[in-house]
Amino acid sequence: MSIIEDLKFQYKIGGIANKMIYWNVGIFLVSIPLFYQFRLGVFDYPNWLAISSEPSIVIKKPWTLLTYAFFHFGFMHLFFNMMVLNFSSRLFLTFFTQKQYLGLYLLSAVFAGLCFVGCFYLLHQTSSMVGASAAIMALLVATTTYQPLMEMRLMLIGNVKLWHITAVLLILDLLQIQIDNTGGHIAHLSGAFFGFIFIKFLQNGIDLSTIVSSLINFFTNLFNKKKSTPFKKVHVNPKNPTTKKQSTIIVKDKTQQQIDEILDKISQSGYDCLTTEEKEFLFKAGK
C-alpha cells in the first residue's frame, strides 16, 4: 500500500478530527504555489480568502468569515495550530458528537471573524487575518468549561488540571494582545468566549451546532432531491378486497457485517490493533 493510498485510507476511516487536520494541511500545501511570495518569504492571501478588517469587504465577501479559518501564514503557524487542534479535538470528542464538533468549529470561526472586524473597525486599523486558532481555542475552552478538573499528564511537569493549560494559553493571549499580532489574539479570545457560551447553552438544552447541521442537511437535500414519481391510479379488484402484504426482510450483507466488526474493533482498540489481513480487507472494501 503506497503512502498516498494509505493517507486516503486513513482519511476515509478517520473521524471529523482527522478530516479537519487533513483539510487544513491540504489547503496549506495547495496555497504555497498559489499565494507564497518566494522573494519576500511571506504568504499574500487575497481578500476573497483572508478575512479583511474592512466591514465593506466582508459584506461583499461573507464567505471569508469561514475561509480564513483554513489558511495559514507559514509552516510553523500550521504546525503549532495542528498540534493544539489534535489535542483539543481528542478531548472534545471524548464528551461530544462529531456534529457538535463541526458546528462549534465553524460557528466559532464566524464569531471570531466578526469580533476581529468589529474591534479593528473601532480601533480605526486595517489588517487581514488567516488561521484556525480561533476555532481551536473554542474547542479547547468548550471542553475545559465542561470538564475543568480533568487531569492531563505533561512531560517534565506531571499531572495538571485541564483548566490550568487553558488558563495559561488565555493569559498569554491577553499579555500579547497589544504587543504583536493583535488581530490574532482578539480572534483567539473571541473563539474561547464562544466555546464557553456554546457549553453554557448546551447545558441549558440549546445545541447551537444544530444551526450548522440544519444548513448542511438543507443543501444536501437540495442538491440530492429525487425526482418526484408521477401519480398512478390504482384499481382495486372488488372481488378480492383484501390482499396479503408481502414482508421484506433485510439481511445484512456478509461483507458489510465484516466491515462493521472491523470498525468496531478500531473504535475500541485503534487502527494499529488490526491484522494485516483485516487492513487489506478494509482497504479493498473501501474502493
Residue 271 confidence (pLDDT) above 90 = no
CA dist 1 and 24 (Å) reads: 24
Same domain, 37 and 127: yes
Provide CB contacts within 8 A for 104, sequence distance 6+.
Answer: 92, 135, 138, 139, 142, 194, 195, 198, 208, 209
* Torsion 250-254-256-257 (CA) sign: positive
Of 195, 207, 206, 133, give the one whose Cα is nearest residue 162: 195
Domain boundary among the residues 221, 241, 265 is at 221
Q: Are residues 85 and 134 in the same domain?
A: yes
Read off the C-alpha cell for 29.
500545501
Evaluate if pTM is beyond 0.85.
no
106 and 181, same domain (yes or no): yes
Q: From CA 7, how far away is CA 207, in angstroms rounded?
A: 33
Query: Which of 200, 221, 242 finishes a domain?
Result: 221
Q: What is the pLDDT of residue 225?
A: 63
Lowest mean pLDDT among 158-162, 168-172, 202-206: 158-162
Q: Is residue 15 very low, low, confident or very high in pLDDT (cuts 50, 70, 90)?
A: confident
Q: What is the mean pLDDT of the chain?
A: 83
Based on the fold, state whether residues 76 and 205 are members of the same structural domain: yes
Distance CA 133, CA 48 (A): 19
- Longest C-alpha distance within the chain, in Å? 89
First to last CA, the chain: 13
Q: Which long-range contacts (CB under 8 A, 24 or more apart) does 2-9 make?
A: 5/283, 9/282, 9/283, 9/286
Q: Are strands 42-43 and 36-37 parallel, antiparallel or unpaired?
A: antiparallel
Grid coordinates representing 282?
478494509
Rounded CA-CA distance 114/44 in Å is 21
The domain containing residue 268 runs over which residues?
254-285
Sign of the C-alpha dihedral computed for residues 95, 97, 99 and 101 taken in this order: positive
Tell me, yes or no, whether 113 lies in a domain.
yes
Check whether residue 72 and residue 178 sit in a common domain.
yes
Convert the pLDDT of each residue in 205-264 to its tens digit.
999 999 998 888 888 888 776 544 454 555 545 555 444 444 333 344 566 667 767 766
The SS3 assignment for 46 reads: coil
- Residue at 242 is within a domain: no
The Cα-based distances of 137 to 36, 85, 89, 143 in angstroms read 26, 8, 10, 10
- Do 161 and 96 belong to one domain? yes
Q: What is the DSSP letter of 273?
A: G
Report DSSP letters for 84-125, one per residue: HHHHHHHHHHHHS-HHHHHHHHHHHHHHHHHHHHHHHHHTT-
Per-residue confidence band for 159, with pLDDT thresholds at 50, 70 and 90: confident
Between CA 50 and CA 68 the distance in angstroms is 5
Count of structural domains, the chain: 2
pLDDT at 285: 65
Both 64 and 203 in one domain: the answer is yes
> How far does Cα 45 stand from its chain's mean position?
22
Weakest mean pLDDT among 34-43, 151-160, 246-255, 277-286: 246-255
- Return the beta strands (E) in the chain as ranges: 36-37, 42-43, 51-52, 128-129, 151-154, 158-161
